[in-house]
């Protein structure tokens, strides 16, 4: 008689970015919109998991939902570069196989996370960049969009504020020094998801529109396997959001896994150490969400808030914005 492994209760966690998010600058209507968007993304992933789908497909479903929502800095809501374009980055990793895929500097792909997934499954590569990545995505039949798709009025206003003040880029410190920067300017809107499926497999995905007014083809941690994204069934699935440079200098996502695997820390202790000690020591702020194969979830940040949420099994999604 074949041994059929017991199915587990699937778990999904997501984030929609961390930063200076304070209740004072949030209207009830706006907070409602964010909460609804987080719940919708969790339900998209939950739907996949409840039907016995894979963790990989669940994180894609959740991230696509966040990419399609103009509230978050990924996909549709991507911020503008200094020359008024949108450059998007994304990555995905399968904890069962450690297969991984990433794209960076793409401008016309509707859902960069789907392109990252195609790199993982339909190429022998891990990372494709720029026009080459777009040609690959077109060859695989992924949806293209015109630049106008990304032209949301809120993001254009952000670029104009940044340009007027000569801020070369928008990061937490720069924005904090700027009197006119709104709370929207003071957050990192990167989105991400981590999932555990009924078969015990983990996956992680991250997608971003970068930083407002960026120059020079800057790439942050979101498309970097080990910095912004990591998944390995033996330890955990991780997705980060924050000042990407700080996450890259400490290999933040892989550091969480290393602390678990070699130092023996439980998930939450590892995530807390990296989010609140290691990343700040590398001159940045932000947050991390992570999930281990026992279904434990940790969501820690060094900022005042992080859009986030968790859904277990068929249960009601729980979402949060500010600190505990």
Q: Which residues fall within 8 angstroms of residue 228, CB to CB, at 6 or more apart?
A: 91, 190, 192, 206, 220, 221, 222, 239, 240, 241, 244, 247, 252, 253
Which residue lies nearer to a second copy by CB, 45 or 242? 242
Which residue lies nearer to a second copy by CB, 68 or 255? 255
Report phi then psi at 12, rounded to 5. Answer: -135, 135
User: Does the protein bind a second copy through residue 248 (CB under 8 A)?
Assistant: yes
Q: How far is the CB of 214 from a second copy (least distance, A)?
A: 9
- In order of 37, 90, 263, the CA distances from 195 in angstroms are 18, 17, 24
User: Does the protein bind a second copy through residue 131 (CB under 8 A)?
Assistant: yes
Angle of the 112-122 helix axis to the 130-139 helix axis, nearest 10: 80
Among 44-52, 188-196, 258-266, 302-310, the segment contacting a second copy (CB under 8 A): 258-266
User: Does the protein bind a second copy through residue 220 (CB under 8 A)?
Assistant: yes
* Residues in the chain, total: 324
User: Is 121 labeled as catalytic in the residue annotation?
Assistant: no
9, 46 contact by CB (below 8 A): no
Residue (of 1, 4, 29, 3) closest to 198 by Cα position = 4
Give the total of residues touching a second copy (CB under 8 A): 45
Q: Give the per-residue contact string, 90-129, with a second copy (x = CB under 8 A; - = no).
A: --------xxx---xx-----------------xxxxxxx
207, 223 contact by CB (below 8 A): no
User: Does the protein bind a second copy through residue 227 (CB under 8 A)?
Assistant: yes
Which residue lies nearer to a second copy by CB, 148 or 216? 216
Residues of this chain that bind a second copy (CB under 8 A): 98-100, 104-105, 123-133, 135-136, 169, 171, 215-220, 224-227, 230, 244-245, 248-251, 254-255, 258-259, 261-263, 282
Q: Which residues are annotated as catalytic?
A: 190
């Amino acid at each position: 008689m074949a041994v059929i492994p017991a199915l587990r209760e699937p778990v999904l966690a997501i984030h929609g970015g961390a930063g200076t998010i304070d209740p004072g600058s949030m209207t009830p209507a706006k907070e409602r919109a964010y909460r609804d968007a987080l719940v919708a993304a969790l339900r998209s992933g939950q739907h996949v998991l409840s039907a016995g789908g894979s963790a990989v497909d669940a994180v894609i479903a959740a991230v696509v939902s966040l990419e399609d929502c103009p509230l978050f800095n990924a996909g549709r809501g991507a911020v503008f570069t200094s020359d008024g374009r949108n450059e998007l980055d994304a990555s995905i990793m399968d904890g069962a196989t450690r297969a991984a895929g990433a794209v960076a500097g793409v401008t016309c792909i509707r859902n960069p996370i789907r392109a990252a997934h195609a790199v993982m499954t339909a190429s022998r590569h891990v990372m494709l960049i720029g026009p080459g990545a777009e040609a690959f995505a077109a060859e695989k039949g992924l949806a293209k969009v015109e630049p106008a798709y990304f032209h949301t009025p809120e993001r254009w206003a952000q670029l104009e504020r940044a340009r007027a003040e000569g801020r070369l880029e928008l990061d937490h410190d720069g924005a904090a020094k700027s009197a006119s920067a709104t709370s929207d300017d003071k957050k990192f809107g990167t989105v991400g998801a981590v999932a555990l499926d009924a078969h015990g497999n983990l996956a992680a995905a991250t997608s971003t529109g970068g930083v407002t007014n960026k120059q020079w083809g800057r790439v942050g941690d979101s498309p970097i396997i080990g910095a912004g994204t990591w998944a390995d069934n033996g330890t955990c699935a991780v997705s980060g959001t924050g000042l990407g440079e700080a996450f890259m200098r400490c290999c933040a996502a892989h550091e969480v896994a290393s602390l678990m695997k070699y130092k023996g820390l439980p998930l939450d202790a590892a995530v807390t150490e990296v989010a609140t000690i290691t990343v700040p020591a590398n001159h940045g702020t932000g947050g991390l969400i992570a999930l281990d194969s026992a279904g434990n979830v940790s969501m820690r940040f060094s900022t005042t808030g992080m859009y986030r949420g968790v859904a277990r099994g068929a249960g009601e999604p729980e979402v949060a914005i500010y600190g505990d």
